[in-house]
Amino acid sequence: MLEILHFPFMQRALLAGAMLALILSILGIFVTVRRMAFFGDGIAHASLAGIAIALLVGVSPLPIALAWAAVVALAVWWLERSTKLSSDTLIGILFTASMALGVVLMSFTRGYQPELVSFLFGSILSVRAIDLTYILIIGVIILAWLLLSFRQLTYMSLSEDQAIVSGVPVRLQTIILYVALALATVLGVKILGIILVSALLILPPAASRLLSSNFRGHIVMSIVMSELMVLLGLSISYLYDLPSGATIILTGTSIFLLVALTSRLKR
């Protein structure tokens, strides 16, 4: 089993998967507490427009997709404040518009586009050194912000009004949270695909919520579940020659169902 660690592509896959599992599992806590479960799925689909622009121009899709996702996230925040509509409603509008734009732009590209297929369905085993560099650098920045702002994020997620009264810079932290979610989601798209990435944002926090009785325990268990989901999924996909992204998600779903069944039997 350990021979898989000798392959450079598997080393890159494990590093990328471990970093994304870490940041998405923590961000997922705040997503579920704030009832923004649709945000990750919406941003993932909205990134198709950025990917299409990059392919049309002939540049690397990942940085353009990251920039586009950040713009969409900022647009959601601004419209949320300006219109008083919920983030889920706005992301639904913007993601369908972005996806429609992506489809229109893709009609101008010629021939088979392997990069597009990679982003649609994910390809963690084909993560390149440059992709890993993006994942590690952005991941470390997001992780540092999460550690420094943990108390403020927790406070504003549980009670935004009280956080404002207590002097928490809610507007700034909300902007950073939205952008961090957008960037982490697009990085996850590279390994799991547009269709599946939101599961890594939702499954670990959902499973951990059934096991933990306090907020810190919730976060720790979410991280453990997320890392287990990626490592087990990758190992199973390698052993049985299965699609890695889909196997990771099915592994996570199995863990969630097992936890849900166990917690139900204990009652």
Report the CATH number that the domain containing residue 50 is assigned in CATH. Answer: 1.10.3470.10
Q: What is the pTM of this model?
A: 0.90
Maximum alpha-carbon separation in the chain: 58
Contact 231, 17 (CB under 8 A): yes
Which residue's structure tokens are 């190992």? 235
Instruction: Quickly list DSSP for 44-69.
Output: HHHHHHHHHHHHHHTS-HHHHHHHHH
Whether the predicted pLDDT of 43 surpasses 70: yes
C-alpha distances in Å from residue 158, one per residue of 15, 87, 189 = 32, 17, 28
Report how many domains make up the chain.
1
Range of the domain at 44: 2-266
Identify the pLDDT of residue 36.
Answer: 82
The tens digit of pLDDT for each residue in 205-217 reads 999 988 887 888 8
d(CA 35, CA 228): 24
227-265 as b/e: b if 16+ CB within 10 A: bbbbbbbbbebbeeeebbbbbbbbbbeebbeebeeeeee
Identify the pLDDT of residue 143.
Answer: 96
Identify the pLDDT of residue 133.
Answer: 94
Determine how many CB atoms are found less than 10 A away from the CB of residue 53. Answer: 18
d(CA 69, CA 186): 7
